[in-house]
Structure 1
């Protein structure tokens, strides 16, 4: 996979990925790495939250599946992150339709299965809203 986007600058801070499906988690990490961003991935929101609360942890974006194992679901994690770190971009994904009214303000929602281009454009919109992107050669 080779993702080429004009105008996308490096993301400052880690991208935290929470996805319990190992194949999809690996794909999401690969996409983020293709965007030249540091990435850390977890199969549950509990471990991701522990990581984010560590002193010195700096992250720019959370991409979380809603239905993950553990005591915290993706929607709850999104609300916690929005409360504590209001400037962090958040993408919530799910294979089930979630009501827009249940999403915290400013959280982007992608219904699975999402297209790679949709994920990349959503990442760009959240971390570099002032930039207009287009796919190279497209």
Structure 2
């Protein structure tokens, strides 16, 4: 879920080249409808926090975590987040990201070992 059309196309292309079946949405409301229509049949959700509409990325991922806790999630944003006690289990990917950072975030999310942990935060100097 990304409202920047160019970034959305790049992200979809990278994921497709990795062998993923991609469904792209420009806002959280449409993404939620897509998940509901497919009964949560999704192996990974990547959401930008600053999308248009009443529902923002983090709130959308909270809904995903509550309804489909088996789906790993990645939150992207150009702004840093401070996790709260009720934050959903997500991997945070800071914008602008590189392909290597995206691949690392996907690996981290699929391992389900993060709760809004910025990539590199566990490394010295990170």
| TM-score between both structures, scaled by the size of structure 1 | 0.75
Deviations 1:2-45 (A, max 9, x none): xxxxxxxxxxxxxxxx0000010011101110110100001111
Q: Does structure 2 conserve the Cα–Cα contact (< 8 Å) formed by 1:75 and 1:103?
A: no
| TM-score between both structures, scaled by the size of structure 2 | 0.81
Q: How many residues of Structure 1 are paired with residues of Structure 2 in the alignment?
A: 112
Instruction: Give 1:121 shift.
Output: 1.8
Q: Does structure 2 conserve the Cα–Cα contact (< 8 Å) formed by 1:20 and 1:44?
A: yes
Deviations 1:55-94 (A, max 9, x none): 5451011000000011210010010000111110100001
Aligned to 2:17: 34
Distance 1:125 1:90 in 2: 10
User: After TM superposition, which residue ranges in structure 1, 4 or more long, deviate above 6 angstroms?
Assistant: none
More strand by share: 1
Q: Does structure 2 conserve the Cα–Cα contact (< 8 Å) formed by 1:82 and 1:104?
A: no
Distance 2:64 2:79 in 1: 21
Show structure 1 runs of 5+ residues with no match. 1-17, 130-138
Instruction: Give 1:123 shift.
Output: 1.1
**Greater RCO, CA 8 A, separation 6+:** 1
Q: 1:57 to 1:121 in 2, by over 3 A?
A: same
Aligned to 1:94: 77
Show structure 2 runs of 5+ residues with no match. 112-126
Instruction: Give 1:113 shift.
Output: 0.9
Aligned to 2:6: 23
Distance 1:29 1:72 in 2: 22
